[in-house]
Structure 1
Amino acid sequence: MSRAKKDFLESMEYIDGITIIDRNGTILFSVKFNPWFHPEIIDGEEVIGKKLCNVFTNIDEDTSTLYKAIELGRPIHRKRQMVSDIEGNKIVTMNISLPIKGEDRIIGAIELSKDITKYKDKSTHIIPMNSECFSKMDTMKKHFGPDRARYSLDDIISSNVKIKELKYFIKKIANGRSSVFIYGETGTGKELFAHAIHNESNRSKGPFISQNCAAIPENLLESILFGTTKGSFTGAYDQPGLFELAEGGTLFLDEINSMPMHLQAKLLRVLQDGYVRRLGDQKERKVDVRIISASNMSPKKCMKEGHLRQDIYYRLSVLSMHIPSLRERKEDIEILLNFFINKYNKQLNKNVNKVSKEAYDHLLAYNWPGNIRELEHMIEYAMNIVDESDDEIEIEHIENMIKEVEDEEIGIPIQPLKNVVSKIEKELIQRAIQKTKGNVSQAARLLEIPRQTLQRKLKIYNLI
């Protein structure tokens, strides 16, 4: 049994009612043990023989846990379900719904319910909406068409100090001509920052052209970037490249570390002289384009690992920006939840305005290997499966997305901690000894441990 389900069962403590339906949704049995739990049907006889959806008017076959248990053939746990009876009374329940089998087939379902109406406000973490800010963003996006940057500094939503510093940095460097290198983990929003640099600059009325260097085969990338002339190869015709199309604006090269070395040499020529030559052409064309590039690793690491030529490294990373991961800025989770919930409320016609404390705590504790993109994906998933009548995202809406992720995201199986520590310690000592060319005293200073301690560990790990 998963931890989430165990916690759920423990939180039930007791039940207030039992309901049984058949495969057609007809109520066969209903009893409510507490008088405040639907007093108009306390005896159960009034609803026996009626359709469940006629008694509880705001649920149907898609939203009822009883129907789901029959459909899926497995127990359904729901921490919060709101139902409305025929009198219009609303009640919030915690439910366990179990399929009933007879002669090897499912013939109905039984549900154990607990009334949590009076406790519901104590278990929620309210996410306040700021619709005025979101409306401003929507208006701005509608203003821009193709080959235009769609996002501005206002779209970079954050209360994190580092992100605020980056936004200030963008204002300072926006009007320059120097190349910018943006780096950070996948899903941190590097392209968003590139858009913001362009829109903050005096090039904002010019084109913003974006190209992922890893998405195009090597034999096509050159012609896409620099253009072609008729007859340069079979089927070629006069076609401007992205540099020409970006004239007077910005060219954003994502995953620049995937660009082949021979193309980097041609790119260097453009960066140095400002001229491009189409494939098969003798003529050079002057271009006025600012280059913004991006990678999931730092420019220096790209160069050291052989992904970037040294000469182009200095040209591309005149200005560099590191975008912190979501786990480094967890104070932003609430404001991002606010934004994504509002976004998908509009798209999916939902009315979610809160997140349960348990779900929120899980989001805070999660490591976010996919960063903001993963958070949006998780919220979009949750908003799709939340009931039409519900206004809250609960742990059940996200638990399948975060279950047992710790081992998967770091790729390390659970094992004795001392084994892992010893392995890392040995590797660090080896690197320190190699860097200091065998000088134990210097290596000890690098590792910030006594020389005697290092000598002892060298013997333990058979490194001398």
Structure 2
Amino acid sequence: MKRGKQDFLKDMEYIDGITIIDRNGKILFSIKFNPWFHPEIVDGEEIIGKNLCEVFTNIDEDISTLFKAMELGRPIHRKKQSVVNIEGTKIVTMNTSLPIKGEGKIIGAIELSKDITKHKDRDTNMNVIQMNSQLFTNTNEMKKYLGPDRARYSLEDIVSNNTKMRELKYFVKKIAKGRSSVFIYGETGTGKELFAHAIHNESSRRDKPFIAQNCAAIPENLLESILFGTTKGSFTGSCDHPGLFELAEGGTLFLDEINSMPIHLQAKLLRVLQDGYIRRLGDRQERNVDVRIITASNMSFKKCIKEGYLREDIYYRLAAMSMLIPPLRERKEDIEILLNFFINKYNKLLEKHIKKVSKDVYNVLINYNWPGNVRELEHVIEYAMNIVDHTADEIEIEHIENMMKVIEEDHTQVNIRPLKEAISEVEKKLIKEAIKKTKGNVSEAARLLEIPRQTLQRKIRSYHII
């Protein structure tokens, strides 16, 4: 049965405050019937004219229910939100937020709030991290495109309280409308692909394909045909087949681990970036493509060039816009909100009803260095959620201690690098030594290394040694 239009008001039973803001977030009207909200400004006069995010410093435009109502252009019913009053007390509210329209345009928003903070939790030294599942209810209307060639994540999915991460989200909004290539770098597990999806969904290409390809996951001899396509007869068993550039027409192609792409393919990629044309493998015909390129690596572009993984001449094409995703150890304030996010996620997947983690669990997680970043944190929570009893509502220390021991043992062992990366580094070093020893005589260096001269010349060009 459909709920009546006024049911949401009945559900609230009463309200503790009313707030009205304009399109820019300036508070036009505010009254707090409950002094817990703002004990010194119950009548709201002292905050009239101030920006909402200045008064409630722990929220911003990305998480405010008032701003969300304006962004979506529709009411948001029974949405939980945590705010901090001027005394530093954390308050949990249940909000009903509605956009205000004038002459067909959204000019502001009004919010009715109910204080649902438990009195026992009004201590600033809380013993547990409370679960707030409705904070992460999907309200992103752009997610109507959920096919394999659509971007599945938006800026809303990048949950963070960190200043640098908020700046990155603002940066994404600024650059998304353009056509320039974007280079994203950060440690493994920091969420580089999330940002790639978000850039696409913030752009005018959002309704077009978004195709992601990990360059390290495909053998070198297949990567070229996958990217650029094939023609019938170009090799045994080949057929006319479009590559990823053609499949991404009008949209975005995300190339992860770009530093794993062979040097000769980087030359073809540079041609696409410069001229906008691709040629299928074995074909004479050139095809024009309109594709935005986003690339990612776990090392900076300059380091990729210095160590011979990327051509220097491709830098200004691929890295026109660069982003560095900070590791989790540099944004520990995000652990609490990520815990809430992952607990809510696995509550749904595993049909559990976890509401919080114990103080001991939180202390372990907050003091760990997280070399695997956000991905590693999710791994720990997934493990705990699988072994916790269905009747439990809290994650205890015994639910994570075995997993944490395994993780810490793994990280105390020798740091395992990708085999290809390690071999390339040793190979490059030996070639340099051979060239130095033979005073630049390539033929003599080839004999020292016991490889054909042509092979050595190719590797010299590949590593930019001479």
TM-score, reference length from structure 2: 0.60
> In the alignment, what sits opposite 1:50?
none
Task: Tell me, in whole angstroms, the C-alpha distance in 2 between the residues paired with 1:126 and 1:165.
Answer: 26
The 5 A counterparts of 1:42-61 are: none
Paired amino acid for 1:294: A
Task: Tell me, in whole angstroms, the C-alpha distance in 2 between the residues paired with 1:380 and 1:189.
Answer: 17
Pairwise CA distance, 1:359: 0.6
> In the alignment, what sits opposite 1:362?
364
The alignment's C-alpha RMSD in Å is 2.0
Instruction: Specify which of 124, 136, 139 is matched with residue 136 of structure 1.
Output: 139
Cα deviation code 1:313-336 (max 9, x no counterpart): 221111000001111111000000
Pairwise CA distance, 1:134: 2.0
> In the alignment, what sits opposite 1:239?
241
Decide whether the 8 Å contact of 2:179 with 2:292 is kept in 1.
yes
Cα deviation code 1:293-351 (max 9, x no counterpart): 00000111101110000011221111000001111111000000001101111111111
Change beyond 3 A, Cα 1:373–1:352: same
Cα deviation code 1:176-215 (max 9, x no counterpart): 1111000000001100000000000011111001000000
> In the alignment, what sits opposite 1:278?
280
Decide whether the 8 Å contact of 2:192 with 2:296 is kept in 1.
yes
Paired amino acid for 2:378: E
Paired amino acid for 1:144: L
Cα deviation code 1:113-148 (max 9, x no counterpart): xxxxxxxx99941323141532325x7545422200
Change beyond 3 A, Cα 1:262–1:238: same
Task: Tell me, in whole angstroms, the C-alpha distance in 1 between the residues paired with 2:374 and 2:323.
Answer: 17
> In the alignment, what sits opposite 1:350?
352
> Structure 1 stretches of 5 or more lacking a match?
1-120, 414-464
Change beyond 3 A, Cα 1:313–1:410: farther
User: Does the residue aligned with 2:216 lie in a helix, a strand or coil?
Assistant: coil
> In the alignment, what sits opposite 1:381?
383
Decide whether the 8 Å contact of 1:123 with 1:356 is kept in 2.
no
> In the alignment, what sits opposite 2:14?
none
The 5 A counterparts of 1:10-409 are: 124-136=127-139, 141=143, 143-403=145-405, 408-409=410-411
Paired amino acid for 1:125: V
- State the percentage of identical aligned residues: 74
Cα deviation code 1:379-429 (max 9, x no counterpart): 01100100111100011111112227557536589xxxxxxxxxxxxxxxx
Decide whether the 8 Å contact of 1:127 with 1:334 is kept in 2.
no
Cα deviation code 1:137-183 (max 9, x no counterpart): 5x754542220000111111000000000000011100111110000
Cα deviation code 1:55-76 (max 9, x no counterpart): xxxxxxxxxxxxxxxxxxxxxx
Cα deviation code 1:347-379 (max 9, x no counterpart): 111110010100100000111111111111110
User: Does the residue aligned with 1:240 lie in a helix, a strand or coil?
Assistant: coil
> In the alignment, what sits opposite 2:426?
none
Decide whether the 8 Å contact of 1:149 with 1:199 is kept in 2.
yes
Task: Tell me, in whole angstroms, the C-alpha distance in 2 between the residues paired with 1:364 and 1:259.
Answer: 37
Task: Tell me, in whole angstroms, the C-alpha distance in 2 between the residues paired with 1:396 and 1:290.
Answer: 47
The 5 A counterparts of 1:402-417 are: 402-403=404-405, 408-409=410-411
Q: Which has the larger radius of gyration?
A: 1
User: Does the residue aligned with 1:267 lie in a helix, a strand or coil?
Assistant: helix
Decide whether the 8 Å contact of 2:145 with 2:151 is kept in 1.
no
Task: Tell me, in whole angstroms, the C-alpha distance in 2 between the residues paired with 1:193 and 1:410.
Answer: 30
Change beyond 3 A, Cα 1:274–1:412: closer
Task: Tell me, in whole angstroms, the C-alpha distance in 2 between the residues paired with 1:407 and 1:376.
Answer: 18
Decide whether the 8 Å contact of 2:129 with 2:362 is kept in 1.
no
Task: Tell me, in whole angstroms, the C-alpha distance in 2 between the residues paired with 1:407 and 1:147.
Answer: 39
TM-score, reference length from structure 1: 0.61
Task: Tell me, in whole angstroms, the C-alpha distance in 2 between the residues paired with 1:374 and 1:341.
Answer: 14
User: Does the residue aligned with 2:402 lie in a helix, a strand or coil?
Assistant: helix
> Structure 2 stretches of 5 or more lacking a match?
1-122, 416-466
